[in-house]
Chain A
Amino acid sequence: MLLLPGHNAGAMRDVTDPPAIRLAGLRKRFVAGGAVALDDVSLELRTGEIFGIVGRSGAGKSTLIRTVNLLERPNAGSITVMGQDLLALDEGGLRAARRGIGMVFQHFNLHHRRTVAENIAFPLEVAGMPAAARRARVAELLPLVGLDAKRDAFPAQLSGGQKQRVGIARALASAPAVLLCDEATSALDPETTAEILALIRRLRDQLELTVLLITHEMGVVKAICDRVAVMEAGRIIEQGRVFEVFTRPAHPTTRRFVAEVIGHGVPPGTLARLPEPGLGQQRRLAQVLFLGPHSTRPVISEASRDFGIDINIVSGRVDEIAGEPFGVMALAVYGPAAAIDAAFGWMRVLGLLIEEDVAWAG
């Protein structure tokens, strides 16, 4: 199948393809009568997409990703990976299936007493591959993650980013179709995080991987995910294409997550210094998202001129989500109520998203 390079390669797949991962009606309670970790969770991942699950700690996302390779067994539901019903497998079958599902961990989980090459070879060793073939495969994997020079180093001699590269190479050693990333960048600094995310995206494009990642950082989702699901209290409360979820978040929790990344962050001091409205006028605060075909039109000056209102741009920024550009502006609009309403109405017709009286404090 042809895979288009670039960010939305996953989303380009025909939606009628059988899903790479299909989770249906998953339920999990660790202690009978205790808190619910998974509450009727269903998800479908298309082949080749990077799917992010975001949530606070304790939302159940960690439990969820661990059910995909049955490190955690659900109390109810079904798990199908690459067409295989995992819950129907016996132990040997499950071990074989796990070799087709790579996993990357927050704390890398490398063998301290094995070198980089020996760590990467571990899954091959477990699968019974002969030593010569293992060496050849490791020699292919090292350059893929940029670690040729470190093949004989021990984990203690590596930086966090290098350790995670070893973790990724190890996860990919047995050429899995699916890669699970369990908070893979949460222990890394921002710069290294960006490097590792770029690597994961490049490997997805190159190897046609389907990637499921969990994170508590919306920035990770914004950087590489095609689709996202937001979890809270063991349930998926919202899911969709990353651009849609970021620009039109429906659930309050999702809004809070989104605000972390595209929040306008107007300092309270700035708000206090805004001039008061004149007699018969209103001052209204609004966040405007510029997207769609009219995002390059001089909307602000047109609105000011045609509707007789004053617009004070408090903050503004242009950004990109999942490869799509958008602008976000915080406006203080002055004028008669009817004129402001008309202006906002006109802007909405152009496809801009306007939200009034959002929580402005950054």
Chain B
Amino acid sequence: MGWLTPTMQDLLLQAFWETLVMVGASAAIAVACGLPLALLLQVTGPGGLRPMPWLQRPLGLLVNALRSTPFIILMVAIVPFTRLVAGTSIGTGAAIVPLALAATAFLARLFENALREVDAGVVEAARAMGASRWQIVTKVLVPEALPGLIAAVTVALVSLVGFSAMAGAIGGGGLGDLGIRFGYQRFMPEVMASVVLILIILVQGLQSLGDWLVRRLSHR
């Protein structure tokens, strides 16, 4: 364990923290933007509460375009936008911008799928009972889809952990960046191994927490 000097410990801890910040912040933004987007896609879609193809189709196209762009390319391509939002294009804070954007598109689709899983009969019953569209969204669609939405957030968090490793390319820091710089470039396989181990534990923890929440909330 000679490689685990106090300096290296600090580096690992720092990197772990950066990963948590990148993943946590971008996930929070993605949930906040992705849910309204998914609701809009669902409600304005064919068979939705208010079909509006002129809005739904371009929106769906935009989401797909974002989803089909490889993250590493997206990150570089939106540098001007990142600079506008974060004031800089380098560092952990700047990395959150492309991460949040990619995750928003990703989550919007996953959320949309979860919303589509809601029993159409329950929605119809709510209409028959005189519920307004807003009430159907807030009292039926979202609560009924909640387990599916949580499962989607879990998937997104796990993917974000992976994406965040690429953020090192723009100086975003984090565990992935540490693994590349020390484990790969400086030939320290122990660092690489510990980075991978921490990531595995992190992903396992997120997945277990997500699964537990879904089970608790389902009542199926």
Contacts and interface: CB of A to CB of B under 8 A. Distances in A.
B129 A107 contact: no
A71 B119 contact: no
Nearest to B143: A113
Contacts of B125: 103, 105, 109-110, 170
A293 B182 CA distance: 103
A154 B122 CA distance: 15
Contact of B143 (A101, A110, A111, A123): A111
Given A126-B135, A156-B219, A156-B220, A110 B130 contact: no
A69 B130 CA distance: 10
A109 B143 contact: no
Contact of A103 (B128, B143, B217, B219): B128
A46 interface: no
Interface residues of A, number: 31
Interface in A37-61: none
A180 B124 CA distance: 14
B90 interface: no
A111 B128 contact: no
Interface residues of B, number: 23
A109 B124 CA distance: 8
A350 to B, nearest CB: 49
B132 interface: yes
B25 to A, nearest CB: 29
A96 B129 CA distance: 9
Contacts of A156: 219-220
Nearest to A91: B132
Contact of B131 (A71, A107, A126): A126
Interface in B170-220: 217-220
B127 A99 contact: no
A329 to B, nearest CB: 45
Contacts, number: 74
Interface in A86-131: 91, 94-99, 101, 103, 105, 107-114, 122-123, 125-127
Nearest to A100: B130
Contacts of A174: 129-130
B139 A99 contact: no
B130 A99 contact: yes
A95 B130 contact: yes
Interface in B5-49: none
A93 B126 CA distance: 16
A99 B129 contact: yes
Q: Is the interface of B mostly helix, strand, loop or mixed?
A: helix
**Residue among B121, B128, B218 facing the most chain A CB atoms (10 A cut-off):** B128
Contacts of A69: 128
A111 B220 contact: no
B129 A71 contact: no
Interface string A315-344: 000000000000000000000000000000
Interface in A139-172: 154-156, 170
B140 interface: yes
B130 A123 contact: yes
A32 to B, nearest CB: 17
Contacts of A110: 122, 125
B144 interface: yes
Contact of A126 (B122, B130, B143, B217): B130
A113 B146 contact: yes
B124 A71 contact: yes
A112 B123 CA distance: 12
A264 B167 CA distance: 80
A98 B129 contact: yes
B184 to A, nearest CB: 47
Nearest to B132: A95
Contacts of A94: 130
Contacts of B218: 112-113
Given A112-B219, A113-B217, A156-B219, A122 B143 contact: no
Nearest to A99: B130
Contacts of B121: 105, 107-109
Contacts of B140: 111
Given A110-B122, A111-B144, A122 B219 contact: no
A71 B122 contact: no
Contact of A98 (B130, B146, B220): B130
A96 B130 contact: yes
Nearest to A68: B128
Contacts of A170: 125, 129
A237 to B, nearest CB: 28
A112 B220 CA distance: 7
Interface of B: 119, 121-122, 124-132, 135, 139-140, 143-144, 146-147, 217-220
9 closest A-B pairs (Cβ-Cβ)? A109-B121, A98-B130, A109-B125, A123-B129, A95-B130, A154-B219, A103-B128, A99-B130, A126-B131
Interface of A: 69, 71, 91, 94-99, 101, 103, 105, 107-114, 122-123, 125-127, 154-156, 170, 174, 180
7 contacts: A111-B140, A112-B122, A113-B143, A113-B144, A113-B146, A113-B147, A113-B218
